[in-house]
Amino acid sequence: MTRKFEDVEFGEELPADAPDVGIDAVRRFAQTAGMFHPRFTDQEKARSEGLPGAIVPGIMSQGILAAAIHHWAPEAEIRKLDTTFRAPLLVDSKPVVRAVVTDCDDDTRTIEIDLTLSNEAGETRVVGTATVALP
């Protein structure tokens, strides 16, 4: 289904998304991105650095936010994605992405979406704001 600008309403919630941040998915992402730091793929080495465990790379978290938008509107053009990292997202956690449309600009035919990536305890780890164009 093609989501069009006219179909979007202010306050509309995007479907919640539960991304895979298991150790295997993070390892594949880190290897593909050339990020060979053990803090992403080794629980004990991450703890030796003072972290609570292996963490999801920040750019993977950004990709998760972008993917949530594309699950909702595959043809969306993400023109801007600002991200704030509040706390590490742990590997093997069970995060949820939630998003809501916070603005619809008729002149530019863009929408603004606020996104959050929270852990299973409901703690917001990553926040983002995206400007998105739809057909």
Report residue 2's pLDDT band, with 50, 70 and 90 as the boundaries: confident
Give a three-class secondary structure readout of the chain.
Answer: CCCCHHHCCCCCEEEEECCCCCHHHHHHHHHHHCCCCHHHCCHHHHHHCCCCCCECCHHHHHHHHHHHHHHHCCCCEEEEEEEEECCCCECCCCCEEEEEEEEEECCCCEEEEEEEEECCCCCEEEEEEEEEECC
Structure confidence by residue, pLDDT tens digits, 105-131: 999 999 999 999 999 999 999 999 999
Domains annotated on the chain, with CATH: 5-20+56-133 (3.10.129.10)
Judge whether residue 1 has pLDDT over 90. no
Structure confidence by residue, pLDDT tens digits, 43-72: 999 999 999 999 999 999 999 999 999 999
Check residue 80 and give its pLDDT. 98
Q: What is the pTM of this model?
A: 0.94
